[in-house]
Each structure stands twice: as structure tokens, then as C-alpha cells.
Amino acid sequence: MDFDLSDEHELLRSTVREFAEQRIAPVAEELDREHRFPYDIVAGLAELGLMGIPFPEEYEGAGGDTLAYAIAIEELTRIDSSVAITVAAHTSLGTMPIFLYGNDEQKREWLPDLASGRKLAAFALTEPEAGSDAGATRTSADLRDGSWIVNGSKLFITNAGTDITACVTITARTGEDEISNIVVPNGTDGYEISEPMRKMGWRASDTRELSFRDCAVPEKNLLGERGAGYRQFLEILDGGRISVAAMGVGLAQGAYDLAAAYARERRQFGQPISKFQAIQFKLADIATELEAGRALVYRAAWLKDQGRPYGLAAAMAKLFTGELAHRAANHALQIHGGYGFMDEYAISRLYRDQKVLEIGEGTNEVQRLVIARHLGF
Ligand SMILES: Cc1cc2nc3c(=O)[nH]c(=O)nc-3n(C[C@H](O)[C@H](O)[C@H](O)COP(=O)(O)OP(=O)(O)OC[C@H]3O[C@@H](n4cnc5c(N)ncnc54)[C@H](O)[C@@H]3O)c2cc1C
């Protein structure tokens, strides 16, 4: 057994860390306050090849593995979750379905722009009446004269409405008990995108409501087989969970780093608060749980890279790290005292950003259901 990362993985970590500290950290608070999408940062990430890490070079991706992708997402989240989710949703949810299920023509049409980061993509599963019960999708797509006529709505969709979004892959009912995935290009008549939704966290990321009214999409935009949509989106969510789990580790690490630095600096009762055992114990707990969380995430990524079943490992990693990020942000803010409650302290943003890690890509309850099912219950 070898717990060391390869030289390439270490190099990737230091490259992303440097970018996050130099380019993202100085503007993260402002972007969050102004709910402003980070176009310049996305362009910078694209230049570094970080908008398409797990896709082959023939499609302008970086040709990396899942572990590399997880490390990059972890490092971005350590500094800012809005940027990290923009990359993660674009990669795992937006681009991956086209890579996995698209035919040659679809891949040639979409992947170079997406994997290079010139354009963004989104994946729209959630609807007002279909959240955890994603199979209850009501959006319909009827095949008429060579087009899918789409009607329905989607909710909370990441990356759907930026100036550089190329498309959204939607799940739609194409028959009774039949769900399929269809790529809808932005700008298609009948496809409307709401203003950005106002959120508690991830405020610089793009989250929209989508509505489709007699929206005609070319028949050729069906991804994979008709009726395979349910199986496809379960597989997409399994993979996506590794990146959201990496976000949990990154956020917990960021919270730890902020709290450790603050504890060394802040003096009360004539000494740095880091001298108090009560503070040390909080930091010791976060550091210990971080090791466990990181090991779960890297193992899930490794299993996927080995081509072995990874659904159980991904769900466990996602559940554990979502709860870890929650505890870590809470402890870290407590260590900051009243200053931590102020917007200019980064920990207040991490505290708000953390919560959705226990909700998106399957709530904690859904992860427990998935894990129990894998255990045979
Ligand atoms: C910021 C943000 C970005 C998002 N981005 C995307 C995106 O890009 N694409 C997309 O498709 N979706 C996206 N989502 C949607 C997200 O995946 C859903 O919010 C999530 O799956 C939960 O669905 P829901 O919100 O409808 O909650 P519900 O399913 O209504 O759940 C409400 C509560 O009931 C619990 N519950 C539900 N069913 C069960 C059960 N069987 N047993 C026990 N408890 C249960 C849940 O765990 C939860 O606590 C995003 C959400 C947010 C907040």
C-alpha cells in the first residue's frame, strides 16, 4: 500500500493551491458580496487546463484521472466554494454526460469547447416536485417531426445561465415510465432561464430556474439510448459525489487553516488563545477527521480510476465529508469568536457555503439510503 501521491498529483496540488491563493483569495469576499460570477477566474482556470481535467486530450481536456480532479476541487474549495462548484458542476454534471453517453458527432460538437473551458455546461435533474425523488421528473419531451418538444421546468440548476454557458443536459419523460437525457443548447426558442437565484452561500456561483415551453430540440440531441436516462443520471450522480466530497474536505481544510492561524494570533488573558486546551481540542478534532475524510475521498477516486465499483465509497465519502465540513466550519467560527461573525472574515463565508454540501447531489439522508441499499438493506 502506498499513501504517497505521485509527483504529478503533487505538482497539480501546488499549481491549484498557488492559483487559488493568488487569484481567488483576494477577490472571493467581494464576489460573494456582489453575487458576481467569476468569469476572469474561470478563464484563468481554463488556461491551466483545469476546466476539463478528466477528459482526454483529443477533446481538449487535460487527460487526468479522478484523483487529480478531486485534488483540484479540494484545493479550490479550501479558498472558495463558489469557484469550486462552478468547476465541479461543469465537469461532473455538465460535460461528463456528453463524454460518457454522447455519440462521436455529439462529442465532436460539444466537448472541445467544454473540456477546454471556453464554454460551460449544466445538468438539470431537479424540478420543483422532483428533488430527492429525481425519478419523479415531470418535464416531458415528445418526438414530433424530427424534434423533441420539451415542456416543463427545472430548479436550482448550476451554471445554466452564465454568458458562456453552451448547453444544459436535461432529464425528461419521453414516454410513460421512460426518462431520457437530452442536450438543450442555450438560446433555443422556448427555453427560458430565470435571473440568478439569491442564496445563503455559493453566492458567486450561477444557480437558475429553467422553463421550457414547446421548446423544439433537434432529435439528434438525445444522449445515448432513449429511455436510458434514469440509469445514466444515477451513474452521473455517483461520479459527481466524489467531487462534492472533495469539496467537503477542501472546505474543512480551509476552515482549519483559518482557525489555526487566528488562534495563534488572537490573544486573550495575556496569551494566544491557541494555548487554551479547549481551542487545541477543537483543532485536534478537525485535523483528525480531515485525515479520515480525505482518505475516503481519495479511495473513492482511486476505485473509479481502477474501473472498479465505487458507488458505495462515493456515497460514504460524500456523507462523511459533508458532515465533517459542517463540524469543521462550526468549530472554526467558534474559535474566531465575534470576528468570525463578520463578513470580512473568510470563515463567515465558509460557514455559509458549507451547508449545501449536506444537500446537493443527494442529501445526507439520501446518502444513508444509498449506503444502506449497497449494504443489502
Ligand atoms: C445551490 C444548489 C445548487 C444545485 N445545483 C443543481 C444542479 O446543477 N442540477 C440539479 O439537477 N440539481 C441541483 N440542485 C438540487 C439538489 O440536488 C436538490 O436540492 C437535492 O437533491 C434535494 O432535493 P430537494 O431540494 O427537492 O429536497 P427534498 O427532496 O424535498 O428533501 C427535503 C428533505 O426531505 C428529506 N427526504 C427526502 N426524501 C427522503 C427519504 N426517502 N427518506 C428520508 N428523507 C428524505 C431530504 O433528505 C431533505 O432533508 C442544487 C441545489 C442547490 C441548493
Over the stretch 180-203, which tens digit does the pLDDT of each residue have?
A: 999 999 999 999 999 999 999 999
CB 285 within 8 A of CB 305: no
CB 239 within 8 A of CB 88: no
Residue in the block written with cell 458549507: 354
Q: Residue 107: is it exposed, middle or buried by C-beta count within 10 angstroms (0-12/13-18/19+)?
A: buried
pLDDT level of residue 257 (50, 70, 90 thresholds): very high
CB 258 within 8 A of CB 347: yes
What is the H or E stretch that residue 271 is in? strand 271-272
Which of ligand 1's atoms lies nearest the C-alpha of 126? 11
Instruction: Return the percentage of the chain with pLDDT > 90, whole number.
Output: 100
**Ligand 1 centroid from CA 129, angstroms:** 10
Residue with the nearest Cα to atom 6 of ligand 1?
Answer: 157
Single pTM value for the model:
0.98
Measured between alpha carbons, how far is 169 from 64 in angstroms, rounded to an integer? 23
Residues in contact with 32: Cβ distance below 8 Å, sequence separation at least 6, in sequence order: 80, 82, 203, 204, 349
What pLDDT digit, counting tens, does each position of 289-328 carry?
999 999 999 999 999 999 999 999 999 999 999 999 999 9
Q: For residue 344, indicate whether it is catalytic.
A: no
CB 91 within 8 A of CB 240: no
What pLDDT digit, counting tens, does each position of 118-169 carry?
999 999 999 999 999 999 999 999 999 999 999 999 999 999 999 999 999 9
* DSSP 8-state code for residue 224: S
Q: How confident is the prediction for the chain on average, in pLDDT?
A: 98
Answer whether 129 contacts ligand 1 (Cβ < 6 A): no
Taking CA atoms, 282 is separated from 256, 259, 328, in Å, by: 9, 10, 8
Which of ligand 1's atoms lies nearest the C-alpha of 122? 8
**Ligand 1 centroid from CA 155, angstroms:** 10
Measured between alpha carbons, how far is 249 from 253 in angstroms, rounded to an integer? 6
Q: Which neighbouring-strand residues pair with 215?
A: 150
- CB count within 10 Å of CB 63 equals 16
Answer whether 126 contacts ligand 1 (Cβ < 6 A): yes
Mutate to test the pocket of ligand 1, among 359, 370, 373 (most ligand atoms within 8 A of CB): 359
Which of ligand 1's atoms lies nearest the C-alpha of 363? 47
Answer whether 15 contacts ligand 1 (Cβ < 6 A): no
Residue with the nearest Cα to atom 42 of ligand 1?
Answer: 365
Measured between alpha carbons, how far is 271 from 285 in angstroms, rounded to an integer? 22
| Average pLDDT value for residue range 202-217 | 98
**Ligand 1 centroid from CA 107, angstroms:** 30
Answer whether 153 contacts ligand 1 (Cβ < 6 A): no
CB 53 within 8 A of CB 76: no
CB hemisphere CA count around 296 (13 angstroms): 28
Q: Which three cell numbers mark 136? A: 419523479
**Ligand 1 centroid from CA 124, angstroms:** 12
**Ligand 1 centroid from CA 199, angstroms:** 15
Residue with the nearest Cα to atom 48 of ligand 1?
Answer: 363
Choosing from 209, 265, 361, 365, the catalytic residue is 361
CB 290 within 8 A of CB 259: no
**Ligand 1 centroid from CA 229, angstroms:** 19
Per-residue pLDDT, 1: 87
* DSSP 8-state code for residue 35: T
**Ligand 1 centroid from CA 350, angstroms:** 21
Measured between alpha carbons, how far is 173 from 336 in angstroms, rounded to an integer? 49
Per-residue pLDDT, 363: 98
Measured between alpha carbons, how far is 230 from 126 in angstroms, rounded to an integer? 13
What pLDDT digit, counting tens, does each position of 47-101 carry?
999 999 999 999 999 999 999 999 999 999 999 999 999 999 999 999 999 999 9
Residue with the nearest Cα to atom 16 of ligand 1?
Answer: 360
Answer whether 124 contacts ligand 1 (Cβ < 6 A): yes
Per-residue pLDDT, 83: 98
Q: Residue 147: is it exposed, middle or buried by C-beta count within 10 angstroms (0-12/13-18/19+)?
A: middle
Residue with the nearest Cα to atom 25 of ligand 1?
Answer: 131
Mutate to test the pocket of ligand 1, among 82, 91, 132, 369 (most ligand atoms within 8 A of CB): 132
CB 166 within 8 A of CB 210: no
What is the H or E stretch that residue 143 is in? strand 140-144
